[in-house]
Structure 1
Amino acid sequence: MNQKKITALTGSGQTQPETSPNDIGDKDLANLVPVIVGQIGGRDNNVVSAKALHAALDIGRDFSTWFAERVEEYGFVRGVDYFTDDDMAVAWLMNDQYSPVSGKNKGRGRPQKDYFPNIATAKELAMVERNEQGRAVRRYFIRCEEELIRSAPEIAARLRQQLRARITAANLYKPMCAALESARAEQGKETQGHHYSTESNMIAKMVLGGLTARQWAQVNGVQGEPRDSMNADQLEHLAYLESTNITLIEMGMDYYRRKSELIRLSQRWLAKRVGGAE
């Protein structure tokens, strides 16, 4: 997976919320579990060190066993909900015992493998511990998210746009498949799985520079559903073409005529988007 170097939110223009030392005894959560920025599935995410989280939760169980059991129990997916320090040479910036150059503890040999869950996953990990530490850590993560929204509204706006585009694209895929199935039924033809994938790949290639969604995910190191990692422009382009394709199918156009028309309309859509950005 192609990961960006992570940087701490504190000291980099991002404001960390204040935390009370009484949240978990005398512990300062902002120092114990700092929120940092990394990439999961090709997108920037706020993440934390699972080892730091494990220590703050005071679980009393072996770290690796605890995390592996939680991943299996709650279905967390590597590359979607978390990444590991195998995915990149992670420098845990808040721990000066870790060498970002060699990837080894200074004077201690190779460090124990760490994992970096996103904030949503970290909140769930804290919540399921069902203890005072877990509740305090979860509240801390919520405050971190609220502070990020206040201090970086443009990031929050971009995420909302991406979410709206993702939902729109999801809402159009099934109707497109239904329109295709109905049109083929009227012609006395049975619709099989490869017919749907051919339709989907045709549109994806127009959006993703000639690559299918699966190929694009492989090139970009994306795991899980490719659409979850597409940006808002790609998703809006995809939704536009799927919506248009439904109309063309219902008009009775065959695959090759639809493809030609969609290519033309796709180029016009892109030209308008570029022109509007200037």
Structure 2
Amino acid sequence: MNDLTTLLPLHTNFNQGIKQQLINAHDLWLFLEIKTRFNDWITRNIKEYGFKQGKDLFYSNLSKKDLAQNQETRGRKQKNYLLTISTAKELTMTASNQQGKLARRYFIQCEERLAEIAPEIIKEYRSQWQIDRNAVKTPFKRLCNALERNKERLGKTTEKHHYTNESNMITSIVLGMSVQHWKQAHSINGDIRDTLNAEQLAKLEYLEQADLVLLDMNINNFHHRKEKLAEMLATNFTETTS
């Protein structure tokens, strides 16, 4: 813990009078040993996960010391990205190496300490996550009903594995890999949906509603539906959540 505190020091910020502990994104990038250029990595993740300034991360100007140490910033004005602990923990999910696992454990410990000194912040964060999580459950129930209607029209019985296959197919589109590989890469046990962030849950809800429509349109081929859903997410999701 002490070693990680040195490598990933916590920075204090006051947001609307509330004390926050933040992580420098560049420190996290170095610790995770990301091969992608820092600016490309942080910009891509902000867009992909929908992180918001003033909520998930904060901007400040780089110090002269930082500018001198960071080769990428020379000759250009650069932002200093400061991440909330929960945001930093989400970014560690993109790293499947040992460094990512160490960082996740560290941030969990930081959140536990934060819960002791500022329980109202943790309560609000967990409450919002539960709202996002519950919002996904209803569309999935409707999707299950649509799957049953589809099987009935085909003269078939809906088996347990049909629900599982449909759920895993949709989740894999959101994750960009199979559910099994994602669990192995991130050491996840239990329901994978309980580990998804708000952005991923929103995409999941969108795809479940879209899949319901495809099933009711009698698009019966599993792989055809998967291709259509991936295309719909890529072309429509950004617009629907902007």
Map 1:33-182 onto structure 2 (within 5 A).
43=90, 88=102, 119=112, 144-146=118-120, 148=121, 162-182=129-149
Equivalent pairs: percent with the same residue? 28
Aligned with 1:224: secondary structure? coil
Alpha-carbon distance in 1 for matches of 2:116, 2:166:
41
Contact 2:136 2:202 (8 Å CA) reproduced: yes
Structure 2: gaps of 5 or more residues: 14-18, 21-83, 92-100
- The residue type equivalent to 1:220 in the other structure is H
Alpha-carbon distance in 2 for matches of 1:221, 1:90:
11
Q: In structure 2, do the counterparts of structure 1 residues 91 and 143 end up closer, same or farther at CA, with 3 Å as the change threshold?
A: closer
Higher-Rg member (1/2):
1
TM-score, normalised via structure 1 length: 0.44
Match of 2:198 in 1: 232
Alpha-carbon distance in 2 for matches of 1:257, 1:238:
18
Residue 13 (str. 1) matches residue 12 (str. 2): yes
Contact 2:150 2:215 (8 Å CA) reproduced: yes
- The residue type equivalent to 2:185 in the other structure is V
CA shift, 1:116, in A, is 5.5
Q: 1:252 aligns with which of 218, 225, 229?
A: 218
CA shift, 1:143, in A, is 6.2
Structure 1: gaps of 5 or more residues: 17-36, 45-86, 93-114, 123-139, 150-154
Contact 1:165 1:236 (8 Å CA) reproduced: yes
Alpha-carbon distance in 2 for matches of 1:200, 1:251:
19
Alpha-carbon distance in 2 for matches of 1:181, 1:90:
40
Structure 1 residues 202-241: Cα deviation after superposition (integer angstroms, max 9, x where no partner): 21221111x2233212212233321122121111111100
Contact 1:207 1:238 (8 Å CA) reproduced: yes
Match of 1:105 in 2: none
Match of 2:26 in 1: none
Contact 1:6 1:91 (8 Å CA) reproduced: no
Question: Relative contact order, CA 8 A, sep 6+: which one is greater?
Answer: 1
Alpha-carbon distance in 1 for matches of 2:10, 2:211:
49
Match of 1:191 in 2: 158
Match of 2:29 in 1: none
Match of 2:239 in 1: 272
TM-score, normalised via structure 2 length: 0.50
Contact 1:43 1:229 (8 Å CA) reproduced: no
Match of 1:218 in 2: 184
Aligned with 2:12: secondary structure? coil
Alpha-carbon distance in 2 for matches of 1:91, 1:260:
36
- The residue type equivalent to 1:223 in the other structure is N
Q: In structure 2, do the counterparts of structure 1 residues 90 and 11 end up closer, same or farther at CA, with 3 Å as the change threshold?
A: closer
Residue 202 (str. 1) matches residue 204 (str. 2): no
Alpha-carbon distance in 1 for matches of 2:4, 2:131:
28
Aligned with 2:156: secondary structure? coil
Contact 1:166 1:235 (8 Å CA) reproduced: yes
